[in-house]
Amino acid sequence: MVSVNINTWWIDFGSIIHIANSLQGIQNLRKPVGSEQSILLGNKLGSPMEANGTCILTLSSGFILKLEMTFYLPNFSRNLIFVSKLVPFGYCFNFKDTSFELFYNSECVGNDILSDGLYLLGLQNYVIYISMHIQTGI
């Protein structure tokens, strides 16, 4: 079992949605409807989705990354950014052995390293993300 800070964001190829394990940075929250209400995980068990919205992340470069349709799963161990959901919006990735770069309209807007088998996305004001606690009446 690897200990992962809940406020970090990871680039993922295997999921089909963006997943957040806290509500920080998520705007326009709404309750999931229909097939959005749970997700089937790799262990074939379902996990309920409590809300979804747009997650706003400020990357270490200062670029604002908006993750539309981010689903809130409080029991999930990592925040995941699904690569295929970004590509249609003008994003592309350059993956190397132990690092990656995120491009938007051919401009490098983010990068970071491979850690524990996933690519960690560098955020600005990392300490602020760690100390934020947002409560909502969902």
Determine the pLDDT at residue 131: 36
The pLDDT of 109-114, averaged and rounded, is: 93
Q: Which CATH architecture has domain 9-131?
A: Beta Barrel (2.40)
Residue 44 to residue 110: CA distance in whole angstroms: 33
Half-sphere exposure for 132 (CA within 13 Å, toward CB): 14
Angle among Cα 50, 69, 36 to the nearest 5 degrees reads 45
DSSP reduced 3-state for 35: helix
Instruction: Give 4-18 pLDDT, tens digit per residue.
Output: 676 789 998 877 889
CB neighbours of 18 closer than 8 A, spacing ≥ 6? 55, 67, 68, 69, 70, 71, 80, 81, 82, 85
Q: Which parts of the chain fold into alpha helices (H)?
A: 83-86, 126-131
pLDDT at residue 5, as a whole number? 73
Average pLDDT in the chain? 81
Q: How many Å apart are CA 77 and CA 137, to the nearest integer? A: 23
pLDDT in tens, 25-42: 899 998 877 766 666 565
Cα separation, 88 vs 81, whole angstroms: 14
User: Token pair for residue 48?
Assistant: 């309920």
Phi, psi of 86 (to 5 degrees): -95, -30
User: Is it the case that residue 90 has pLDDT exceeding 70?
Assistant: yes
Residue bearing the bigger pLDDT, 123 or 137: 123
Higher-confidence position of 97 and 6? 97
